[in-house]
Structure 1
Amino acid sequence: MSNYLKTHSKILWVVIFSVFFMLMLRITLKYIPFDSNIAFLNIKQTEVQSVSLYLTFFYIHVYSSIFTLFTGFTQFNETILKNNKRLHKAIGKLYFYTVIFLSAPSGLFIGIYANGGFYSKISFVLLAILWFWFTIQGLLKIKKNNYNQHKYFMMRSFALAFSAITLRLWKVIIVYLFEPAPMDVYQIIAWLGWIPNLLIVEYYIYKAKR
Structure 2
Amino acid sequence: MWIRLLRIIALFWILILSLSTLEYLSFKNDTDFLRFKAEAVKSGWYLPAFYSHIFGSSVILLLGFFQFIKRWHHYKTLHRILGKVYILGILFFAAPGAYLMTFFINRGAGVFASFIIQNTLWITFTIMAWAYIRKGDVNNHIFMMRRSYALAFAAVTLRFYIWLFSVLGNGVAFENNYLIIAFLSWVPNLLLVEWMNYRDKQRVPAMQAPAP
SS in 2 for 1:31: helix
Map 1:2-41 to 2 at 5 A: 8-41=1-34
Contact 1:159 1:201 in 2 (8 A): yes
Whole-angstrom distance in 1 between the partners of 2:79 and 2:90: 16
Gaps of 5+ in 1: 1-7
- Normalised TM-score (structure 2): 0.90
Whole-angstrom distance in 2 between the partners of 1:116 and 1:26: 27
More displaced 10-residue stretch of structure 1: 98-107 or 115-124: 115-124
Whole-angstrom distance in 1 between the partners of 2:16 and 2:9: 11
- 1:141 corresponds to which residue? 132
Could you give the per-residue CA deviations for residues 86-132 of structure 1, whole angstroms, max 9, x where no partner exists?
Answer: 11111100101000111111111111222422211111111111111
> Are positions 1:168 and 2:159 aligned together?
yes
Structure 1 residue corresponding to 2:116, chosen from 104, 108, 125:
125
- 1:105 corresponds to which residue? 96
Superposition deviation, residue 185 in structure 1? 2.9
SS in 2 for 1:114: coil
Gaps of 5+ in 2: 203-212
Contact 2:165 2:174 in 1 (8 A): no
Could you give the per-residue CA deviations for residues 48-101 of structure 1, whole angstroms, max 9, x where no partner exists?
Answer: 12x2211111111111110010111111110011x2111111110010100011
Whole-angstrom distance in 2 between the partners of 1:22 and 1:115: 29
% of aligned pairs identical?
A: 35
Whole-angstrom distance in 2 between the partners of 1:115 and 1:27: 24
Structure 1 residue corresponding to 2:180, chosen from 165, 171, 188:
188
Superposition deviation, residue 13 in structure 1? 2.9
More displaced 10-residue stretch of structure 1: 40-49 or 127-136: 40-49
- Normalised TM-score (structure 1): 0.90
Change in CA separation of 1:190 and 1:164 when aligned onto 2, cut-off 3 Å: same
Structure 2 residue corresponding to 1:205, chosen from 197, 200, 205:
197
Superposition deviation, residue 177 in structure 1? 2.1
Whole-angstrom distance in 1 between the partners of 2:172 and 2:196: 33
Contact 2:11 2:65 in 1 (8 A): no
Letter of the structure 1 residue corresponding to residue 91 of structure 2: I
Letter of the structure 1 residue corresponding to residue 20 of structure 2: I
Aligned length: 201
Structure with the greater relative contact order (CA < 8 A, sep ≥ 6): 1 or 2? 2
Structure 1 vs Structure 2 CA RMSD: 1.4
Contact 1:112 1:124 in 2 (8 A): no
Superposition deviation, residue 174 in structure 1? 2.0
Whole-angstrom distance in 1 between the partners of 2:64 and 2:99: 19
